[in-house]
C-alpha cells in the first residue's frame, strides 16, 4: 500500500518526530538504491554519504544524523519532477514535502530564527525598501553596508540583491485599471492578478506587462488586496506566520473566484504555492477552490491560444534563450512561457532546463550563497553559449541569480510579448 504522504499539518502524527523519522527512512531507503538525484542539489550527496557510511542499513541513522541533509534542501522540487516513485507509484515518495515537514518540526522545537522571521516578511521589507529606495538601492552596493548586513542578517556581501521602487505596481494599477478595462468587451474573461510581492516592490514593469498583455487579449483585470504568498516563511519553517498570509490571500480572492474570476500569477513559485501548498497548509474548501482556479499567467494565455482567442499580431524579437524555472516544471503544465514565445514569427527560442539554485534567501545567505552559485553554473554556461539576444525567465529569483552569474538580467515572457505586440 502507498504510504500517506500529504502535509496533514493539523494532525498530531505530522509533528511526531518518531513518525517523521520513520517516513524519512522509508523515503531514503528507496533513494539509497536509486540515486537518480545524486547531482541535483547538495542534499543528496550528503544523504548518500550518510547511507553509505552505514552500508545501507538505515535503521542505524537518527534524526540528528539526517539534520544536515534536511538543512541542505532548498526546495527546487527537481527530485520530485524526476522521481520515478511518486504517486501513483506504491512508494508514493515526495522528498521536498518530507523536508518541508522536517523544517516545520525542527522550527517548532527550536523556534524561528530572527533572520528568517525578518527576511521572510517580504511585505515589510518591500514597504521599507520602497520608502527608502533612493538610499536603500545605493546602500545595497556599498561595501561597508554589505559587511554589516553579512554580520547581522547573514546576507553574503557579494550576493546580488533586488532593487526597490518608490512607486509600487499596486499604485500603477490603481491609476491605470480604468483605462485598461475600458478596452475590453462586456463579455470578456475576468482575472484577478496576483501580482506577487516581488513584482509589487522590486519589478513593477513585469506587472505592467502582465496587465497590458491581458487587456490586449480582451481580458478584464482586477487586483484584490493581497500579501506575500507565504513561501518565504515556509522556507524558514515559520508555519504560523505563513498561514496568516495564506488565510488573508484566500479570504480576499475566494469571492472573486465565486464571481467567475480566475487568478493569474506571473511568478512560478507563488503559483506553485497557491496551487499545491495552500490546500495542504490550510485544509479548507475555500483554499481548495482558490487553488483550482489559479493559473500561471503563461499557462492562462495558452488556454486562450487553445480556445482560439489569443491575439497573435506579433513582430519578431530575434533569438531568445528561455530559462525554464524549476517551480514551473514542478507544476507539470509544460513550459508555456516558451510555447508562447515560439508563436512570435521569425523568433528562435532555445529552452534551457537548468536550476538556478537561488530559492530566495538560500541564494543570498552567507552559508549557502557560494553553494548556490556552484549549482547554478550549468545554467550560466548554457545561457552564455546560447548566443541569444534576449534571456527570458518566468522566475524573478532565478533572474537575480542569472544576473549575478552572467551579468545580464533576464526579462519576463510577458515583457517579450508586450514588445512583440507593439504595446
Tell me the per-residue pLDDT of 272-304, one tens digit each, with 9 for 90 and over. 999 999 999 999 999 999 999 999 999 999 999
Q: What is the pLDDT of residue 3?
A: 39
Q: Provide the domain limits for residue 349.
A: 311-421
Task: Determine, yes or no, domain membership for 33.
Answer: yes
Helix (H) or strand (E) holding 228: none
- Look at residue 317 in the predicted model and tell me its pLDDT: 92
C-alpha to C-alpha distance for 194 and 263, rounded to whole angstroms: 7
- 139 pLDDT higher than 90: no
User: What integer pLDDT is reported at residue 7 of this predicted model?
Assistant: 58
The reply to whether 162 falls in a domain is no
Q: What is the mean pLDDT of residues 364-377?
A: 93
332: CATH? 3.40.50
pLDDT tens digits for range 20-74: 999 999 999 999 999 999 999 999 999 999 999 999 999 999 999 999 999 999 9
Q: Which residue, of 110, 126, 147, is where some domain finishes?
A: 110
Vertex 36 angle, CA 1 and 352, to 5° = 120
Q: In the block, which residue shows the cell 507544476?
A: 331
> In the listed set 110, 128, 154, which residue is the last one of a domain according to the structure?
110
Longest dimension (CA), the chain: 68
In this prediction, residue 2 carries a pLDDT of: 36
User: 153-187: per-residue pLDDT in tens?
Assistant: 889 999 998 899 999 999 999 999 999 999 999 99
Q: Of the candidates 110, 138, 167, which is a domain's last residue? A: 110
Please report where in the chains the cell 500529504 appears, as a residue.
6
Is residue 34 within 8 A of residue 98, CB to CB? The reply is no
Residue 361: predicted pLDDT: 85
Query: Following DSSP, what letter does each residue of 277-315 receive, concatenated?
Result: IHHHHS-SHHHHHHHHTEEEHHHHHHHHHHHT-------
> Is there a contact between 324 and 76 (Cβ–Cβ < 8 Å)?
no
Question: How many C-beta atoms surround the C-beta of residue 26 within 10 A?
Answer: 16
For all residues of the chain together, what is the average pLDDT? 94
In a domain, 147, yes or no: no
pLDDT category at 133 given cuts 50, 70, 90 is confident
- Work out the angle between the directed axes of helices 17-34 and 43-53 (0-180°, nearest 10): 90
pLDDT value for 194: 98
Question: Using the 8-state DSSP alphabet, how is residue 163 labeled?
Answer: -
pTM, two decimals, is: 0.94
End-to-end, the C-alpha distance of the chain in Å comes to 55
Whether residue 351 is contained in a domain is answered as yes
Predicted confidence (pLDDT) at residue 5 exceeds the cutoff of 70:
no
The domain tally of the chain equals: 2
Question: What are φ and ψ of residue 55, in 5° steps?
Answer: 55, 35
Region 256-262 average pLDDT: 98
Pairing of strands 320-323, 262-265: unpaired
Establish if 303 belongs to a structural domain.
no
Edge to edge, what strands does the sheet with 349-352 contain? 349-352, 320-323, 390-393
- Structural domain includes residue 268: no
In-domain check, residue 41: yes
At residue 220, φ and ψ (nearest 5 deg) are: -75, 130
> Is residue 199 in some structural domain?
no
Amino acid at each position: 500500500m502507498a504510504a500517506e504522504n500529504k502535509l496533514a499539518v493539523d494532525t498530531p502524527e505530522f509533528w511526531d518526530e518518531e513518525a517523521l523519522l520513520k517516513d524519512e527512512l522509508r523515503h531514503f531507503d528507496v533513494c539509497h538504491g536509486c540515486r537518480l538525484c545524486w547531482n541535483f542539489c547538495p542534499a543528496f550527496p550528503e544523504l548518500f554519504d550518510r547511507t553509505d557510511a552505514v552500508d545501507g542499513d538505515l535503521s542505524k541513522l537518527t534524526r540528528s544524523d539526517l539534520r544536515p541533509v534536511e538543512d541542505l534542501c532548498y526546495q527546487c522540487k527537481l527530485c520530485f519532477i524526476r522521481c520515478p516513485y511518486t504517486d501513483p507509484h506504491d512508494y508514493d515518495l515526495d522528498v521536498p514535502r518530507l523536508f518541508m515537514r522536517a523544517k516545520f518540526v525542527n522550527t517548532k522545537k527550536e523556534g524561528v530564527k530572527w533572520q528568517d522571521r525578518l527576511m521572510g516578511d517580504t511585505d515589510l521589507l518591500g514597504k521599507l525598501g520602497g520608502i527608502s529606495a533612493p538610499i536603500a538601492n545605493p546602500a545595497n552596493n556599498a561595501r561597508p553596508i554589505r559587511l554589516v548586513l553579512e554580520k547581522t542578517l547573514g546576507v553574503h556581501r557579494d550576493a546580488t540583491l533586488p532593487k526597490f521602487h518608490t512607486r509600487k505596481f499596486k499604485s500603477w494599477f490603481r491609476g491605470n485599471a480604468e483605462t485598461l478595462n475600458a478596452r475590453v468587451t462586456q463579455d470578456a474573461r475576468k482575472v484577478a492578478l496576483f501580482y506577487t510581492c516581488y513584482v509589487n516592490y522590486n519589478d513593477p514593469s513585469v506587472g505592467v506587462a502582465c496587465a497590458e498583455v491581458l487587456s490586449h487579449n480582451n481580458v478584464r483585470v482586477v487586483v484584490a488586496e493581497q500579501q506575500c504568498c507565504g513561501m518565504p516563511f515556509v522556507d524558514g519553517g515559520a508555519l504560523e506566520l505563513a498561514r496568516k498570509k495564506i488565510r488573508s490571500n484566500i479570504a480576499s480572492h475566494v469571492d472573486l473566484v465565486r464571481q467567475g474570476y480566475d487568478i493569474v500569477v506571473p511568478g512560478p513559485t507563488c503559483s506553485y504555492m497557491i496551487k499545491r501548498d495552500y490546500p495542504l497548509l490550510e485544509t479548507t474548501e475555500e483554499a481548495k477552490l482558490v487553488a483550482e482556479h489559479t493559473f500561471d499567467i503563461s499557462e492562462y494565455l495558452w488556454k486562450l491560444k487553445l480556445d482560439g482567442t489569443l491575439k497573435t499580431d506579433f513582430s519578431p524579437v530575434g533569438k531568445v534563450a528561455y530559462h525554464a524555472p524549476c517551480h514551473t516544471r514542478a507544476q507539470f503544465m509544460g513550459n508555456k512561457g516558451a510555447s508562447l514565445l515560439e508563436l512570435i514569427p521569425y523568433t528562435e527560442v532555445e529552452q534551457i532546463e537548468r536550476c538556478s539554485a537561488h530559492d530566495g534567501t538560500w541564494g543570498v545567505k552567507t552559508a549557502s550563497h557560494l553553494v548556490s552559485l556552484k549549482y547554478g553554473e550549468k545554467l550560466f554556461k548554457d545561457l552564455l553559449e546560447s548566443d541569444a539576444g534576449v534571456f527570458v525567465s518566468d522566475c524573478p529569483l532565478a533572474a537575480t541569480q542569472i544576473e549575478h552569474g552572467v551579468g545580464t538580467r533576464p526579462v519576463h515572457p510577458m515583457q517579450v510579448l508586450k514588445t512583440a505586440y507593439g504595446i
